[in-house]
């Protein structure tokens, strides 16, 4: 299948959806602390998306072939959960790390992003994993420009994460996004430079590496002998896992991150150093 190219009006619609998705995470940030349940985080996000933003939670009822309908308005992936964690009634504990993944549909367009949150006083190892994963995402973003290849993105992420002693999950990847939640291309977080599709202005896709503190192998979550819920994936060795996600536009001169808002964590210095003009402006949160 061909990779969709968005026009100016479609890009504006994606900017709005992306900003709203980021603002959901801004709103949730002060609430994510020891004692809150992930179900309560889900409730707060649902109310904000629907009642404040006039949007639709993309994950609620989402059912790709072979999966049950997803039962919540966001994903909460805690500690050794790699992705697709379903919110529940277990309270967050001091020292936990949790990924909150939010996708808002606004006027038919999808804005998709996630952030890691450190709950209370997490240890140095957990904090380092979250930071390195954040930087790995930006290593990939910094490779986005017309004429680059998707393999350049994956190679940058993989080499950075592995040089820090971590492993990149290979079974899940970033994806094109627009009117559909998942479009072409698939954006691998590993690979060889100079390979795969060439980037062109107007392409929009997510970059969302999942990085494990231990080995890269994953499995379905069947802890305690309970039946698999159809979604939750954990590290096979039960090591910690982290993920960050942005939605990115290929521009005429480089890239624009669409999932930014007033509370977005700023990019690392290497992602802004040496970039001028439109690209530097694009990294700033919109008014």
Secondary structure letter of residue 30 according to DSSP: G
- CA-to-CA distance for 204 and 248, rounded, in angstroms? 6
Instruction: Concatenate the DSSP letters of all residues of 202-266 into one string.
Output: T-EEEE--EEESS-S-EEE--GGGPPP-SS-EEETT---EEE-BEEEEE-SSSEEE-S--TTPPP
Tokens of 243: 């993920």
- Give residue 273's pLDDT: 54
| Residue 135, CA distances (Å) to 107, 264, 268 in order | 32, 14, 7
The CATH number of the structural domain formed by 8-282 is: 3.90.230.10
What confidence tens digit (pLDDT) does each residue in 169-178 have?
999 999 999 9
- Give residue 286's pLDDT: 29
Q: What's the CA dihedral at 52, 181, 247, 141 to 10 degrees? A: 160
Residues counted in the chain = 287
- Give residue 131's pLDDT: 98
CA neighbor of 17 nearest in space, from 182, 261, 262: 261
- Give residue 124's pLDDT: 97
Residues of the chain with pLDDT under 70: 1, 273-287
What confidence tens digit (pLDDT) does each residue in 201-255 have?
999 999 999 999 999 999 999 987 889 999 999 999 999 999 999 999 999 999 9
**Would you kindly state where each structural domain of the chain is located, as residue ranges?**
8-282
- Give residue 226's pLDDT: 81
- Give residue 104's pLDDT: 98
Record the pTM. 0.94
């Amino acid at each position: 299948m061909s990779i969709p190219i968005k026009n100016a009006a479609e890009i504006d619609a994606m900017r709005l959806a992306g900003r709203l998705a980021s603002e959901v995470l801004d709103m949730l940030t002060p609430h994510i602390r020891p004692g809150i349940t992930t179900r309560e985080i889900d409730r707060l996000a649902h109310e904000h998306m629907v009642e404040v933003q006039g949007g639709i939670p993309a994950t609620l009822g989402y059912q790709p072939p072979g999966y049950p309908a997803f039962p919540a308005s966001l994903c909460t992936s805690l500690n050794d959960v790699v992705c697709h964690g379903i919110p529940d009634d277990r309270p967050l504990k001091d020292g936990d790390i949790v990924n909150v993944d939010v996708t808002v549909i606004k006027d038919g367009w999808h804005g998709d992003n996630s952030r890691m949150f450190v709950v209370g006083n997490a240890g140095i190892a957990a904090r380092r994993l979250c930071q390195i994963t954040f930087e790995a995402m930006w290593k990939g973003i910094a490779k986005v420009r017309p004429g680059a290849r998707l393999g350049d993105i994956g190679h940058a992420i993989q080499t950075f994460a592995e040089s820090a002693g971590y492993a990149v999950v290979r079974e899940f990847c970033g994806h094109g996004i627009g009117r559909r939640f998942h479009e072409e291309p698939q954006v691998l977080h590993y690979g060889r430079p100079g390979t795969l599709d060439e980037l062109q202005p107007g392409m929009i896709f997510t970059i969302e590496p999942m990085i494990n503190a231990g080995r890269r192998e994953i499995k379905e979550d069947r802890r305690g002998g309970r039946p698999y819920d159809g979604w939750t994936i954990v590290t096979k060795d039960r090591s910690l896992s982290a993920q960050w996600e942005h939605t990115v536009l290929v521009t005429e001169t480089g890239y624009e991150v669409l999932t930014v808002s007033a509370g977005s964590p700023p990019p690392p210095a290497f992602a802004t150093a040496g970039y001028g003009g439109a690209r530097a402006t694009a990294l700033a949160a919109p008014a």
